[in-house]
Amino acid sequence: MLVEKKVLEEKISEAVNGAKPRKFKETVDMAVNLRNLDMKKPENRIDQIVLLPKGLGKSRKIGVFARGETALKAKENNVEAVISPEEIDEIAKNKREARKLANKIDFFIAEAPLMPEIGKKLGAILGPRGKMPQPIPPGSDPSPVIQRLRNSVRIRTRDKMTFHAPIGLRDMDPADIAENAMEILKVVENKYENPSQVVKSVYVKTTMGPAVRVI
């Protein structure tokens, strides 16, 4: 284990208490700095969706590419966008609107048969942002996937030695935020053979507050 939950809880409390009050709901973020890795090798990179056990304190925005029953179920779940197959081409033609949609939505889901078209027409916009949709069987109920993604975050290193992840809102219980943070660190522990040799440092901070070193 890279760090005890109790230590994380103390450091999160320190970060929250050391930050000035703001007029908006600040997020608590975690930064993990890696070392001793060749990030040019894809197998050393992290790109994973992590379900936070205590949620983020706010719902993630979901977009669904679907038709028929799947589209209806998505609307029942009050997702931020339901995109029909016919609209894919329309969105692709307007790069500004496509970028706006990609930046607004945290996670996309798509009926599997639509994936080739999405990749061809929107891949250049969604891919670099780590927003390519999660495929689901055509005609299936997207509700379980939507509910899971609403409480998830994506962590990506790409070719960098650092990744950041939101782990809660400032007004959440520090113990709950620490539990979320442990889930992020588990990904690192499971990914690398010697995590203690790979993790250089870990910091937590509120959106505009000072960073507090955990390890």
The string of pLDDT tens digits covering residues 37-78 is 999 999 999 999 999 999 999 989 999 999 999 999 999 999
| CA separation, residue 168 to residues 7, 33, 109, 131, 204 (Å) | 17, 19, 23, 21, 11
> Crossing angle for the helix pair 5-17 and 174-191, nearest 10 degrees?
130
For the segment(s) 5-57+152-213, the CATH number from 3.40.430.10, 3.40.640.10, 3.30.190.20, 1.10.760.10 is: 3.30.190.20
Residue-wise pLDDT for 23-33, tens only, equals 999 999 999 99
Classify domain 62-149 by CATH architecture: 3-Layer(aba) Sandwich (3.40)
Q: What does the alpha-carbon distance between residue 19 and residue 211 come to, in Å, rounded to a whole number?
A: 9
Stated pTM of the model: 0.90
- Pairing between strand 199-206 and 212-213? antiparallel
Chain segment 159-190, per-residue pLDDT in tens:
999 999 999 999 999 999 999 999 999 999 99
In this predicted structure, what is the pLDDT of residue 199? 97
Q: Where does the chain hold its CATH 3.40.50.790 domain(s)? A: 62-149
What's the pLDDT score for residue 31? 98
Start-end of CATH 3.30.190.20 domains in the chain: 5-57+152-213
Residues 110-147: tens digit of each pLDDT: 999 999 999 999 999 999 999 999 999 999 999 999 99
> 113: which 2 tokens?
């048969």
- The dihedral over CA atoms of 66, 71, 74, 75, expressed in degrees to the nearest 10, equals 130
What Å distances lie between residue 36 and 164, 194, 195, 198, 199, CA to CA? 18, 10, 10, 6, 9
Question: How many other C-beta atoms can be found within 10 angstroms of the C-beta atom of residue 21?
Answer: 6
d(CA 147, CA 158): 26
Rounded to an integer, what distance in angstroms lies between the CA atom of residue 91 and that of residue 118? Answer: 10
Identify any residues that bridge with 168 across adjacent strands, giving them in sequence order: 28
Whole-angstrom distance, CA of residue 7 vs CA of residue 125:
40
Percentage of the chain with pLDDT > 70?
A: 100
C-alpha torsion sign, points 81, 118, 126, 199: positive
What pLDDT was estimated at residue 109?
Answer: 98
1, pLDDT greater than 90: no
Q: Which amino acid is at 195?
A: P
CB 130 within 8 A of CB 154: yes
Q: What are phi and psi of 157, to 5 degrees?
A: -95, -30
